[in-house]
Structure 1
Amino acid sequence: MTSLSGDSDSTGSAPRRDAGEAQHIVCARCGIPAEGPRPTWTCSVENGTRHYFCDSCARINLRAIEGRLDSAWW
């Protein structure tokens, strides 16, 4: 099985989950915490690090996200 580069949660805004420990996700743009599962949030892999963006931040920056620009550009 082949994995894509940056397919690891070992670094970045989402810490690695250990057995029995809940994953704490925070929007990389505005810092709002995700209270439970957020299926509408956007996940972006930049330089091998996962970044999560809330609905509002993703909506505001949709064109840059679809253009595959790193969040530093927007």
Structure 2
Amino acid sequence: MDQKTHEQAELAGRSRVCAGCGAVAEGTPPTWTCSVENGERRYFCDSCARENIRAIEGRLDSSWW
């Protein structure tokens, strides 16, 4: 998790922060995607997940896309 995403996650508390665009949502929306990269969970909003679905399904780390 990069520093920006980590700081956003701390500020959001129970909210989820998209690792792609920084969008914040209460709880974990059912339309968001969770990816485990290097042992850390990363959440992606439906827009970011939709834009990168092939890379996600191919299990490429988000740093590749």
TM-score normalized by the length of structure 2: 0.77
- Structure (1 or 2) with the greater helix fraction: 2
- Counterpart Cα distance in 1 of 2:38 and 2:27: 26
- Counterpart Cα distance in 2 of 1:30 and 1:55: 11
**C-alpha spacing 1:39/1:25, structure 2 compared with 1 (3 Å):** same
- Counterpart Cα distance in 2 of 1:71 and 1:36: 22
Superposition map of 1:1-74 within 5 A: 13=6, 23-74=14-65
Query: What percentage of aligned pairs have identical amino acids?
Result: 70
Unaligned runs of 5+ in 1: 1-11, 16-21
Unaligned runs of 5+ in 2: none
TM-score normalized by the length of structure 1: 0.68
- Give 1:67 shift: 0.3
Moved over 6 A (4+): none
**Aligned-residue RMSD, C-alpha:** 1.8
- Give 1:23 shift: 1.6
- Counterpart Cα distance in 2 of 1:62 and 1:25: 19
Query: Which one has more relative contact order, counting CA pairs under 8 Å at least 6 apart?
Result: 1
Contact 2:16 2:25 in 1 (8 A): yes
